[in-house]
Structure 1
Amino acid sequence: MTAQRGSEPGAGAPEVVGTRTTDPAAGRAAPDAATTAPTRDTAPPPRAARPRWAIPHGLDVAAGLAWRVVLIAAAVATLIYVAGTLSVVLVPVVLALILASLLAPEAHLMSSRVRWLPHAVATAVVIIAGLAVVGGVFTGVVYAFISGLPDLTSAFTSSLSEIQNWVRTGPLGLNNQQFAQLGDQILAGIQQSQATIAASALGAVGTVGELFTEGLLALFTLIFLIHDGGAIWRFLLRGVPRTVRDRADVAGRRAFASLVGYTRAIVVVAFIDAVTAGLGLWLIGVPLAVPLAALIFFGAFIPTLGAVISGAVAALVALVSGGITDALLVVLLLLAVQNLEGYILQPLFLGKSIKLHPLAVVLPIACGLVVAGIPGALLAVPLVTVIDNGVRSLTRPSDADVDPATVNPLDPRSARPEFGADPVVNVAPPGEH
């Protein structure tokens, strides 16, 4: 490198040689600023040699995903186990919540329109009226079943005679002795299963007592959900962090609004299905048309699975009473009713805001059936509807600035994404006065 001189030799000025400064007075070399400041051309320190036993990156990622999946699966399994263990309590509470979504708007409307009527009295009137309607429907169904049972019994007897004649003269070609032996074998099997039948009868008696207890718990919970729903919801919100409490309030209100809309719509759809199917069964001449229509009504609350079960029972009764022709007519009638429901009634009453994918309907029904039997299958879809709308509201960016007071939990429009921007009347949750 070339040497640079700042002045003439002997003038006392430091002499710069290369990258070091020579100070004659000090008699030693001082470090230059260029040597102390870091330079961009400085190479990074060499990386440590990777040990031979290091885990490959792909295996590391797979292991991380594996233990997370196992942890989530364990949490889900624990939740299902707890839900199955406490199903005797959870099923009545969820049923009461669904009934509250159907009756709470009427109780609030009654107490808000009639200023002198206390909310407790409106709650009592709505619950008594609801119980009277449900009791009247069940009474009518049982009476129609009892009145139509003799006709069905005679039709079943004639069908057995036809089956007996077919067994003797049909492709099987059994003679009287072989037919008698077949009957004796069937009778012996029935006698051997008498103990099982008796145990099942005792289990049915216990089930009736359990259902009565669960019904009382559901009624007790329903009363307080309608009367003090707002206070209960505010108490639950205290467990949410204050920074996200308003967001959780909006999500909860919209989830309950979606439940209100779903319950109203499914009741209307089920009623239309039952009336249409019952009228068609009566025109075809199928006995027990009213009980079968009631079965179709309750089956409509379990999408897909309920229609299959109720339709199979109706077709079987038609087959026993009127033969293959009536059974085929009933199958065609029920297919027409299902198409009416799927293409007209559900889009009209349910809309797009609470519409679920078919896979999101079948899988929860199957899980509910495994965990809690028929009540679990009945309550699975409403729960999925509530969770779906609540999660959508929590993850929707536009809901971050929505005022909870502008969301009416008793109005199904609150489940819509654009509801927060609409001018609405502030209506308190059930029990909030």
Structure 2
Amino acid sequence: MELGKKIRELFGSRSSKDATERALAEASDLADQAAVRQATPRRGLFEGVAPEIPTEVRVTSTAAESDQAVPAALKVAAAWAWRIFLVAGLVYFVGWILGFLSEVAIPLAVASLLAAALKPLANRLHAWGLPKGPAAAVTLLGGILLIAGSLTLIINSIAGQAGELSQQVVRGFGQLEQWLMNSPLPIDQSWFRLDEWGTRIQQFLVDSQSTIAAAAGDIGTSIGHFLAGVAICLFSLFYFLYDGRGIFSFLLNLMPRSAQARADAAALRGWQSLSAYVRATVLVALVDAIGVLIVALALRVPLAPALAALVFLGAFIPLVGAFVSGFVAVLVALVAVGWVQSLIMLAGIIVVMQVEGHILQPFLLGRAVHLHPLAVLLAIAMGIVIAGIVGALLAVPILAFVKTFVQELYRQSHEVVAHEVPPPSTTPPTPPGPLTPAEAATA
């Protein structure tokens, strides 16, 4: 349009020679610009250069300018910080709820561990033809009878050797007293007089009547809570063995439908890992107890079966449980049979711990779930801080379940991404052909 207008001005205006030359120059410039516009799209298509796009004018506010002034590293740190605080708050809230309901939460957790250990036996009985209810009942009663038989054996062992052990304790205490009296340590001789000890004990009991009464009340309350927890644990254990899958399916329905399949698969892998861990821990504890029993019987240490049972229970706390419970056997050996036998007992316990740490745990627990020793130690420490001995007992199994659960979710998320994103094409793109006159005109 502008080119035609300029041409009309060229031929319509006869006013002056300068006007004519100026019009011819402007017409030539417009023709050159039109040629450049027609050549640019064709070159962009063949050479991979995008057509020039007009620059967009953006109006930035003061808040946007200040946000751009913040370094990227600080933005990432802030994003991580509020997410970490949110997760920590959620964990603290869940821990507070579980602590408030500890009289129910702890028996449920113990029942879950026992179900993980006994569920294969109940499944085997059901496969042999027993209905699910009788199979769960037989498994539960068998476990109760096993525990009751073990406790009866331990109590009878203690009762049968109590007289001999008391004499050995008195004799050992007398030897210790004589050594302290003849030692160069600055100890007052009044500490070795039995009549003064009787007076001190009587005076201590008189001064601590209120404390003793409060402690007796607390002990009575604790015994009541313990019996109630045992009842809850046994009742829950039966239903976990009978209909554990149905209970979990009910809890699974509370989640969003889109996440149920993934959560179910991850929980199943976590439960399998937990079951394998508990069974492997039982085998490791049994081997530790047998090793300590053999050494104690060889040294003629009294209460050898009771000490072996104590080591068996302590071995359920990895790394430290068996050693701490075995140290009780060393003290009994020191008091009952002498310091030489106690050193031999200590050496035997160290050998048993080495066999556990370098052979049994890598062979059995390594197949169940691989946990770093530092992670195990920190989990036990946090469990003791949160819930005492019960926390130390439950910390590592919970860690094993959570680790496998998270790993399975992570694996499933990567599989989903791999299915959704197509693989990159290896064939080179086909170069476009020459433009037609119609395409050139529209470009």
TM-score range, shorter chain: 0.7 to 0.9
Measure how far apart 1:173 and its partner are. 6.1
CA distance in 2, matches of 1:162, 1:258: 52
The equivalent residue for 2:141 is: 128
Show the 5 A alignment for 1:6-405: 10=11, 17=27, 40=52, 45=57, 56-57=70-71, 59-114=74-129, 117-172=130-185, 176-177=189-190, 179-180=192-193, 183=197, 187=201, 188-189=203-204, 192-397=207-412
Measure how far apart 1:212 and its partner are. 0.7
CA distance in 2, matches of 1:227, 1:272: 30
Report the RMSD for the aligned CA atoms in angstroms: 3.6
CA distance in 1, matches of 2:207, 2:344: 39
Kindly provide the CA deviation profile for residues 36-90 of structure 1, in whole angstroms up to 9, marking residues without a partner as x: x997386665885978976642555544443333322222221221121111111
* CA shift in 2, pair 1:20/1:378, >3 Å: same
Name the TM-score, length of structure 1 as normaliser.
0.78
Worse-matched range after superposition: 53-62 or 225-234: 53-62
* Larger Rg computed on CA atoms: 2
8 Å CA contact retained: 2:311, 2:322: yes
Kindly provide the CA deviation profile for residues 333-385 of structure 1, in whole angstroms up to 9, marking residues without a partner as x: 11111111111222232233412111221222222222222222111111111
The equivalent residue for 1:405 is: none
Secondary structure of the residue aligned to 1:274 is: helix
Amino acid at match of 1:17: A
Secondary structure of the residue aligned to 1:396 is: helix
8 Å CA contact retained: 1:274, 1:296: yes
* CA shift in 2, pair 1:317/1:199, >3 Å: farther
Give the total of aligned pairs: 387
CA distance in 1, matches of 2:304, 2:223: 26
Amino acid at match of 1:368: G
Amino acid at match of 1:250: A
Secondary structure of the residue aligned to 2:366 is: coil
Name the TM-score, length of structure 2 as normaliser.
0.77
CA distance in 2, matches of 1:381, 1:365: 7
Measure how far apart 1:92 and its partner are. 0.9
CA distance in 1, matches of 2:136, 2:337: 48
Measure how far apart 1:191 and its partner are. 5.0
Which structure 1 segments of 5+ residues have no match? 22-30, 402-433
* CA shift in 2, pair 1:65/1:262, >3 Å: closer
The structure that is helix-richer by fraction is: 2
Kindly provide the CA deviation profile for residues 181-204 of structure 1, in whole angstroms up to 9, marking residues without a partner as x: 984785344653454344323322
8 Å CA contact retained: 1:281, 1:289: yes
Worse-matched range after superposition: 193-202 or 87-96: 193-202
The equivalent residue for 1:412 is: none
CA distance in 2, matches of 1:48, 1:10: 51
Kindly provide the CA deviation profile for residues 144-203 of structure 1, in whole angstroms up to 9, marking residues without a partner as x: 122222222212211221122122211126574564498478534465345434432332
Which structure 2 segments of 5+ residues have no match? 13-22, 42-49, 417-443
Kindly provide the CA deviation profile for residues 188-247 of structure 1, in whole angstroms up to 9, marking residues without a partner as x: 446534543443233222211111101111111111111111211222221233333222
Worse-matched range after superposition: 273-282 or 190-199: 190-199
Which of structures 1 and 2 has the larger relative contact order (alpha carbons within 8 angstroms, sep 6+)? 1
8 Å CA contact retained: 1:123, 1:226: yes
CA distance in 2, matches of 1:190, 1:163: 26
* CA shift in 2, pair 1:139/1:179, >3 Å: closer
Measure how far apart 1:310 and its partner are. 0.3
Measure how far apart 1:279 and its partner are. 1.3
